[in-house]
Structure 1
Amino acid sequence: MEGRCRFAQLLILCFSLLMLVVVSAQPLHHLPNPHWYPATATWYGEPDGDGSDGGACGYGSLVDVKPLRARVGAVSPVLFKGGEGCGACYKVKCLDKSICSRRAVTVIITDECPGGYCSGGRTHFDLSGAAFGRMAVAGYSNGLRNRGEISVIFRRTPCKYPGKNIAFHVNEGSTDYWLSLLVEFEDGDGDVGSMHIREASSSEWMEMKHVWGATWCIIRGPLRGPFSVKLTTLSTARTLSARDVIPRNWSPKATYTSRLNFFT
């Protein structure tokens, strides 16, 4: 009888450990803080325009096409975080019921808003004209834009890029001794806390340094591709490794797409 009890306890322990592994392996589709916070917002560019051309995050022409198009935003330094806030997604909602709808607009951080409205430690969003206007009730987009600065509430939201996998753009000027990468289309947290690369002939993960915006680099060499890339998000420390995503014959200004994303 005692042997049967021990066997049953062992089965329960094994099942509990298995469930722990399964739960831990499930993708987290939420960020740690779902609460709304107060901020202010303005808009820039054309009234119905897509916003910035490029921006301090370094995404370049990506901001002009979907899925970033008309969803871009610049933020004050408190959210930009020296570039580590690049790629994060936020819901922004205005509260004036006389002109604002109930829906929030989702924006992707692609730029920093320095000085002026964004100085003094304020939490501020400078949105594309199109994104700003979407917060208004139907037919009142121009009226909302005419108000200039407005009070809003905001919260983090998971980034979603349906049909897109994480891509790595090799920045211009990269060599076998100085390799610089930009991360694109990162689902989930959207931000990057650390990056490492590994040569195919090595088991060592080499740490990359954050340079500016969404750009990371490593000074070492000669570097031999193909390279695997491992990134860890800033917000929830989730990790993803893309094996041999950058080929042996890589070239500057090329973009290499992985087969992975955090929501796939």
Structure 2
Amino acid sequence: MALYLLQAAIICYLLSVLHITTQNEEWKSATATYSNDTNGSIVTEGACGFGDLQKTSYGGKYSAGLSGILFNRGSTCGACFEVKCVDHILWCLQGSPSIVLTATDFCPPNYGLPADYGGWCNFPRAHFQISKAAFSDIAHEKADLVPIQYRRVKCERKGGIRFTITGSVYFLQVLITNVGLDGEVVGVKVKGTRTAWIPMGRNWGQNWQCNVNLLGQLLSFEVTTISRRALTSYGVAPETWKFGQTFEGKQF
């Protein structure tokens, strides 16, 4: 019995360490540039599918487009990164203040330019494209490219996870937004009133779909994040739900 309790304690400790590591990674090196936006937002329709960032809880100013190695084919959408300008006395603001950004878009490569001169998002460079408003919180605007350090951090969200239902009578598509803690969703399941749990596949960004007609059924969702935490929201969408509507579930 004592041996069993010791093994259980060790497992719990290792899991807690793994979770902490996932949420508070070591600082890594990258670069950052800013876009010449006029409204504080990177994009209104980014590669993550979040739509108009001015209307989401992420806040348009603190969104970021990631190079391919960080974007990870859309899996990283919704994740949070702490970023600070470092090692440049002319461009970085004094004290190296940091900001927290949400991954909302993909920064495409430009293989017509070298990686160290214009092709900032070429593989395998780690690069962040952020709004000018956010850039000015960590560096002087006259800089066009700055060295930074970044690390994954917990996402602080207000309210519950949001489920925006789109698609058609032939398939169900759901956009998952406002995910706390990890921010990064790696698995989604849906359950209708008359069905078992149905796994959904990633369509693009944080849009998930399944080829099932669930019209007229009460919908529940299970969301799994990168640290393998799962959260189930029962009865999120009523039987009268319609395409284009957004519903709110539980929060991590």
TM-score of the two chains, using structure 2 as the length reference: 0.83
Counterpart-to-counterpart distance in 2, 1:239 and 1:110 = 22
SS in 2 for 1:165: coil
Q: Give CA deviations for 1:234-253 in whole Å, capped at 9, x if unaligned.
A: x2011000001011111111
Equivalent residue in structure 2 for 1:126, among 119, 129, 135:
129
SS in 1 for 2:228: coil
Query: Aligned AA for 1:221?
Result: N
Given that residues 29 and 158 in structure 1 are in contact (C-alpha distance below 8 angstroms), is that contact kept between their aligned partners in structure 2?
no
Deviation at 1:47, TM superposition (A): 6.7
- CA spacing shift, 1:71–1:119, aligned 2, 3 Å: same
**Residue matched to 1:5:** none
TM-score of the two chains, using structure 1 as the length reference: 0.80
Given that residues 54 and 63 in structure 1 are in contact (C-alpha distance below 8 angstroms), is that contact kept between their aligned partners in structure 2?
no
Given that residues 63 and 72 in structure 1 are in contact (C-alpha distance below 8 angstroms), is that contact kept between their aligned partners in structure 2?
no
Query: Aligned AA for 2:143?
Result: R
Deviation at 1:221, TM superposition (A): 3.3
- CA spacing shift, 1:102–1:220, aligned 2, 3 Å: same
Given that residues 182 and 216 in structure 1 are in contact (C-alpha distance below 8 angstroms), is that contact kept between their aligned partners in structure 2?
yes
Given that residues 69 and 123 in structure 2 are in contact (C-alpha distance below 8 angstroms), is that contact kept between their aligned partners in structure 1?
no
Equivalent residue in structure 2 for 1:45, among 33, 36, 50:
36
Tell me whether 1:158 sits opposite 2:154 in the alignment.
Answer: yes
Gaps of 5+ in 1: 1-8, 137-143
**Residue matched to 1:231:** 223
SS in 2 for 1:53: coil
Query: Aligned AA for 2:101?
Result: V
Query: Aligned AA for 1:114?
Result: P
Which structure has the larger Rg? 1
Q: Percent identity?
A: 27
Tell me whether 1:103 sits opposite 2:58 in the alignment.
Answer: no
Tell me whether 1:70 sits opposite 2:61 in the alignment.
Answer: yes
SS in 2 for 1:70: helix
CA RMSD of aligned residues (A): 2.7
Counterpart-to-counterpart distance in 2, 1:46 and 1:222 = 40
Aligned pairs for 1:76-115 within 5 A: 76-95=67-86, 96-98=88-90, 99-100=92-93, 101-115=95-109
SS in 2 for 1:31: helix
Query: Aligned AA for 1:45?
Result: N
Q: Which is strand-richer, 1 or 2?
A: 2
Gaps of 5+ in 2: 111-119
- CA spacing shift, 1:17–1:237, aligned 2, 3 Å: closer
Point out the more displaced range, 58-67 or 211-220.
58-67
Given that residues 159 and 189 in structure 1 are in contact (C-alpha distance below 8 angstroms), is that contact kept between their aligned partners in structure 2?
yes
Deviation at 1:81, TM superposition (A): 1.1
